[in-house]
Structure 1
């Protein structure tokens, strides 16, 4: 056994030396540059940025739910949050078809603001994008639902979109 002890010591010394030399070389290496490479082909691709959702006229109702929800949230964050017209106008501006929309009244029969305002866009032959906002709802709610009879999206009293 006395013969093995020097061999083990040599191995430990050799391993320690390799580690120390590696650390010394790493400390001497230049730091990576934060500026882009002069050669655009050698620049690594960056992660794609998350763009705002866009209206997809040839897409499905599900494809257009993100833009519908974003518009709903945007209007909800304004002073016009209780105005059905504000939601309709913002949706039309984004590309949705006004003639395919429904909206409930802004006021109750006694003239008070409604507790819940609903608006919708009929999509294709069988789907609807539906939004609901108001004090009773809390945060805006948007979803895709099946169309009702006669191509309607909302149950109950809706108002004409004649502006």
Structure 2
């Protein structure tokens, strides 16, 4: 009788019991997974197992500390912090406000009296295409530049200008 069937039908007839067994196993597994957990009998006494915490075999990695202010260091020693503060302000809502950079650098430990910053707006009231800010550090300057025309923030250490300043041209007073 099985020889009278076409090849596909013979294959299905031969493997139907296997397919049914697999389906039944999967159904049982699915139902077991959905079954509620057994509720302990309230009349039975609970079993208490004492465990002690074991120290981990190796220390848990922690993130390295961020750059820090080095008051007795050189300008180059403080460039990582200057760059980090600049990047943080650039990523904030105050990214195009020179005051935001001055305030953040002062909060990080840089001397506000040693800072310079350019205007946020052009002489006709348009937003500046770039803002520069600087901190004089001895005979050197930490200088930052940000803005739509700059792309990513730029920070460098350069020598103090002959005039004793860090930025060329007119800067705005830092009177806040």
5+ residue gaps, structure 1, are 1-34, 38-42
Shift of 1:115: 0.3
Shift of 1:150: 2.9
Shift of 1:50: 1.6
CA RMSD, Structure 1 to Structure 2 (Å): 1.6
Residue 51 of structure 1 is aligned with which of 65, 87, 94? 65
Q: What is the aligned partner in structure 2 of residue 91 from structure 1?
A: 105
**Residues matched between the structures, number:** 123
**Matches of residues 45-124 of structure 1 in structure 2 within 5 Å?**
49-124=63-138
Q: What is the aligned partner in structure 1 of residue 34 from structure 2?
A: none
Q: TM-score when scaled to structure 1?
A: 0.71
Q: What is the aligned partner in structure 1 of residue 4 from structure 2?
A: none
Structure 1 SS opposite 2:80: helix
5+ residue gaps, structure 2, are 1-53
* Distance change >3 Å, CA 45–CA 78, structure 1 → 2: closer
Shift of 1:79: 1.1
Q: What is the aligned partner in structure 2 of residue 36 from structure 1?
A: 55
1: CA distance, partners of 2:62 / 2:74: 24
Post-superposition CA distance 1:74-101 (Å, at most 9, x none):
0001111110000000000111001100
2: CA distance, partners of 1:142 / 1:85: 17
Q: What is the aligned partner in structure 1 of residue 148 from structure 2?
A: 135
